Amino acid sequence: MPRQLADEVRRQYLDPPAPQSSGIDCVFLTCFNSEFQVFAVLLGYSGIRLHCAGALEEADFLLKVTGATVLLSDAAFLDGTWYEAAEMLADAHPGVEFVVVLDEAENAFWAATLDRGGWDLALKPLRVGRLREAIRNAHRTATSGAAGARLSRRRQVL
């Protein structure tokens, strides 16, 4: 395959598309890079820019640099759990909402996530439409100023 054609194929099918009007930045705290890559491309078509963090410190850095308003967090990642991610948000990023991603959930886990200020829970296998709506709704809350009540609840529980 000639180089020019290979570059065109990569641009068309592999590179994330240019962001559209919604302009939502979201950090995905996960150790599954292949899963991140698929969702970065698929969500990119909806104007959601997904940034990958493999560890809590990297997520903290990306939230600062990108101005992301939503953190997607696997239930467990390389150096912690969603609970440490919630603590980090309460301390350093009060205006950021978070969504926990996990394989399966019991009602107690769902309640614990919401009690600690989580916006939502996304179950695997992740569906693009469901994930897109969770991110958009969390972003809307983070940018509307309605996050204040959720933040105060998050701080009380933690």
Top-confidence residue, 114 or 38: 38
Q: What is the pLDDT of residues 126-135, one digit of tens each?
A: 888 989 999 9
pLDDT at 120 over 90: no
pLDDT at 104: 75
Give all domains of the chain, ordered by start, each with its CATH number: 17-157 (3.40.50.2300)
Q: Using CA atoms, how far apart are residues 42 and 93, in angstroms rounded to an integer?
A: 26
pTM here? 0.75
CB of 72 closer than 8 Å to CB of 158: no
CB of 99 closer than 8 Å to CB of 120: yes
| Range with top average pLDDT, 99-103, 104-108, 134-138 | 134-138
End-to-end CA distance of the chain: 56
pLDDT at 95 over 70: yes
- Mean pLDDT on 10-21: 50
- Mean pLDDT on 62-82: 93
Q: Give the Cα-Cα-Cα angle 93, 37, 9 (nearest 5 degrees).
A: 135
